Amino acid sequence: MPLWNIYHPVDAYTAEEKQEMAKRITDMYYVLPRFYVGVLFHEQPKDSFFMGGQKRDDFVRIRLDHFARHMSSDAERTTNWLKRADEAIAPFVRDRGYHYELHIGETPRELWLIDGIHPPRANTAAEQRWKSENQPSPFGPEEG
């Protein structure tokens, strides 16, 4: 599962803009079941966000956690994911003049459950079923 937590100033985004940003983010993960992708928006009230001890109301902080897939090389991390993530959010952050920070954390697969089920391994029959049905379901060892 990729889980994006977006911390932003109050009223930075309308409901429609949040929906569009979530869609752009979800579309990046075309190899995964869509329901894996979570995007949470966290409004930060004025006088509640500080950087270097100074109040900031022009800053967006994005933390994304990867569970379903891990990046295998530094090139993949810097060239592919950070660049793609930056491009996906640019219209909502950089292009609006916000200062921002983006960070990716990777959690071991073994420490991840969905509805009490360990998700299937990548590119297995069970994962393909989860992708086509867009929901988790039990599977046997021969599937995933």
The CATH number covering residue 10 comes to 3.30.429.10
Among the listed residues 128, 142, 114, 139, the one whose alpha carbon sits nearest the alpha carbon of residue 32: 128
In a domain, 14, yes or no: yes
> What is the distance between the alpha carbons of residues 120 and 124, in angstroms, rounded to a whole number?
7
In a domain, 26, yes or no: yes
Among the listed residues 78, 46, 82, 48, the one whose alpha carbon sits nearest the alpha carbon of residue 62: 82
In a domain, 49, yes or no: yes
In a domain, 125, yes or no: no
Domain that holds residue 11: 2-112
In a domain, 126, yes or no: no
In a domain, 58, yes or no: yes
Among the listed residues 115, 110, 109, 106, the one whose alpha carbon sits nearest the alpha carbon of residue 133: 115
- Residue 19 carries which side chain, given as an amino acid letter? Q
Could you write out the DSSP letters of every residue in 23-58?
HHHHHHTTTS-GGG-EEEEEEE-TT--EETTEE-SS
| pLDDT tens track for 43-101 | 999 899 999 999 999 999 999 998 888 777 766 666 678 888 999 999 999 999 999 99
In a domain, 121, yes or no: no
Q: Are strands 99-106 and 59-66 parallel, antiparallel or unpaired?
A: parallel
b/e per residue 67-78 (b: at least 16 CB within 10 A): bbbeeeeeeeee
CA distances from 24 to 21, 27, 92, 122 (A): 5, 5, 11, 22
Domain count across the chain: 1
Quote the distance between the C-alpha of residue 8 and its chain's center: 15
Evaluate if pTM is beyond 0.85: yes
| pLDDT tens track for 3-19 | 999 999 999 999 999 99
